[in-house]
Amino acid sequence: MSGPGTLLALLCLSLAAYPQGIKDTQLESSKELHKMVPVLRAVYAAFNRGDFDAAVAPLDPQVEWTEPAEFPGGGSYHGRDAVKGYLRQSRADWEEGSSEPERFITTGNRIVVFVYARFRPKGSNEWHEVRLADVYTVRAGKIVQMNAFRDRQEALKWAGTTIASEQSG
């Protein structure tokens, strides 16, 4: 049995199921993002101890990494090796310090990380403190893009959220 009535009935059934399908996909995406939070914690820990190989391991081989132009070495980097070089260079002038994630906010396929960096440059007794945000884009369990922002609200806006979901654990 076919005809316009059957086609209309199938279309209505499809449309009725469609929003649930979107919701299920978003839920799955959200679960996958939350699984990335411990991975990102490990990335910051590796950076802090100077283990740059471990810091770039979860990155997609073709990752796009962008730092603000006003940051030392700021600009765009393509691929793990380029990012590793940037990370090494960015810590080279530190006598001591750390870059600690304070908050993780998931939205869509992105994770916004509020970061508190505290460091003492070589040859100085003065400590510098910076609060910034890094936005990671995740696809298929890999970090494919990172954009750093000096202004946390700008990062949230770029990621398309005010504050969607947070994980601090």
pTM: 0.78
**Is residue 5 classed as helix, strand or coil in its secondary structure?**
helix
> How many domains, in total, are found in the chain?
1
Q: How much is the pLDDT for 65?
A: 97
Distance CA 4, CA 6 (A): 6
Kind of pairing between the strands at 142-149 and 59-67: parallel
Distance CA 133, CA 113 (A): 5
| 17-58 confidence digits (pLDDT tens) | 434 333 333 434 677 788 899 999 999 999 999 999 999 999
Distance CA 51, CA 54 (A): 6
Q: 94-102: long-range contacts (C-beta < 8 A, 24 or more apart)?
A: 94/119, 94/120, 94/121, 94/122, 95/119, 95/120, 95/121, 95/122, 95/123, 95/124, 96/120, 97/127, 98/48, 99/44, 99/47, 99/48, 100/44, 100/48, 101/40, 101/41, 101/44, 102/131
- Per DSSP, the residues of 25-52 read HHHHHHHHHHHHHHHHHHHHHHHHTT-H
| 68-79 confidence digits (pLDDT tens) | 988 888 899 999
Are the C-beta atoms of residues 155 and 104 closer than 8 Å to each other?
no
Distance CA 28, CA 101 (A): 24
Q: How much is the pLDDT for 120?
A: 93
Kind of pairing between the strands at 165-167 and 75-78: unpaired
Q: How much is the pLDDT for 29?
A: 61
| 78-105 confidence digits (pLDDT tens) | 999 999 999 999 889 899 999 999 999 9
Distance CA 11, CA 15 (A): 6
Range of the domain at 95: 4-167
- CATH number for position 115: 3.10.450.50
